[in-house]
Amino acid sequence: MDKQKVKAIIYALLAAVFYAVNVPVSKLLLKELGPATMAAFLYLGAGMGVGAMSLLWKRDKEKREKLSGEDLPYVIGMIALDIAAPIFLMHGISQGSAANASLLGNFEIVATTLIALFIFKEAVSPRLWIAIALITVSSALLSFEGTESFKFSYGSLYVLTATVCWGFENNCTRNISSKDTYEIVVLKGIFSGLGSLVIAFIKRETMPGLIYIAASLLLGFVAYGLSIFLYVRAQSVIGAAKTSAYYAIAPFVGAFFSFVFLKEELSWIYLVALAVMTAGSVLVAADTIIRHHEHMHQHSFTHTHGGFTHTHTVTHIHGHDHYVTDGKHGHHHSAEELEKLPGAKHSI
């Protein structure tokens, strides 16, 4: 493996670790800050930090297209959802355990996938359906406070609501992801932060001391801003699929930090949920990597019909079920199969 790929993998793992710091440290800071105030400074820290990075490392900046007017609906949706999601998350963290909140963050995978399926009509593989079922079962286990009373945890409900908001936000962001990353993160951070700050004033949350504001801004820069920055850098080398697979360790690292630094106790139901969640996350990572290996192939063939020469060009996706000869690979299709493939173009 070359040095560039090794560096990219390290970036992806660091991005996961930086984000994992969010839940346990927020749990501590929420003793001094209200949920909306905390969410505001987290996003403001991300926006200000990445904005400073874009100025300091201008030569290293991505050469991507700027956002335009047609992107406005997705930008507004992204910002609105990013205002709501962290406020729900902060409420969830303040009312429940940080370890549970970390693992429940994986429900974002379920929310994002189902929204992509039903609204944006994206395909979902059988492997991913199994992963969704496992993560949902684990989330249900984590959402009850005890096996005797089966009392539902409102802290878990807030966290799950946050993941649904981020699921919609992910699908909004996906539609503008080809545009300038710095611009997206800065807009997301500054406007989502200001929106949360307005809500904090409406709720009359008390403003904390400067030391807590500074700590929240720093946490936002590391857990949101720097994490996204490293994620994008890794993505540019090893691709989105493999990067997201490495990033899937974030909830488990967050749970580990919660036990080590917050001294939260392990319950047997938590351990069962952890095992089920791990299985689901492994399947998500496997599905992501396998689907990454699917690639586009184009077939062109010419034949004569009715005195005219016809050229067919067909583009389709397939996995690695093909033959290999002399270092080249291919697979067989009949003319009838090619005619039926989606995207077939017929020209005379």
Ranges assigned E (strand) in the chain: 295-305, 308-318, 323-325, 328-330, 345-347
Count of Cβ atoms closer than 10 Å to residue 20 Cβ: 24
Average pLDDT per run of 10 along the chain, which is 348 residues long?
A: 82 90 94 95 95 75 77 93 94 90 86 83 82 87 63 84 90 80 89 96 93 96 90 73 72 87 81 88 77 50 43 38 38 42 36
Cβ–Cβ under 8 Å, residues 179 and 67: yes
Separation of alpha carbons 78 and 185, rounded Å: 11
Cβ–Cβ under 8 Å, residues 197 and 40: yes
pLDDT confidence of residue 145: 61
Separation of alpha carbons 251 and 21, rounded Å: 10
Q: What's the CA angle centered on 23, arms 243 and 34, to 5 degrees?
A: 135
Give the largest CA-CA distance in the chain: 84
Tell whether the torsion through CA atoms of 315, 319, 325 and 328 is positive or negative: positive
List the structure tokens of 149: 């009373």
Separation of alpha carbons 218 and 152, rounded Å: 34
CA 9 to chain centroid, in Å, comes to: 17
CA distances from 302 to 223, 298, 306, 333 (A): 55, 14, 13, 14
Backbone angles phi, psi at 313, to 5 degrees: -120, 120
Backbone angles phi, psi at 64, to 5 degrees: -120, 160
**If you ran DSSP here, which 8-state letter would residue 179 be given?**
S
Separation of alpha carbons 127 and 145, rounded Å: 30
What is the distance between the terminal CA atoms of the chain, rounded to a whole angstrom? 47
* Identity of the amino acid at 259: F
Cβ–Cβ under 8 Å, residues 167 and 115: yes
**If you ran DSSP here, which 8-state letter would residue 316 be given?**
E
Site of tokens 């033959």:
323
**Residue range 156-169, pLDDT digits in tens:** 899 999 999 988 98
> Judging by beta carbons within 10 Å of its beta carbon (0-12, 13-18, 19+), is residue 82 exposed, middle or buried?
buried
List the structure tokens of 289: 């990597």
List the structure tokens of 277: 């969640």
CA distances from 205 to 20, 202, 208 (A): 26, 8, 9
pLDDT confidence of residue 21: 93
pLDDT confidence of residue 96: 86
Q: What three-state secondary structure class fits 153?
A: coil
Separation of alpha carbons 148 and 315, rounded Å: 57
CA distances from 151 to 116, 155, 240 (A): 32, 12, 39
The set of residues, in sequence order, having a beta carbon less than 8 Å from that of 203 and lying 6+ positions away, is 34, 36
**If you ran DSSP here, which 8-state letter would residue 320 be given?**
S
**Residue range 74-112, pLDDT digits in tens:** 999 999 999 999 999 999 999 988 888 888 888 888 888
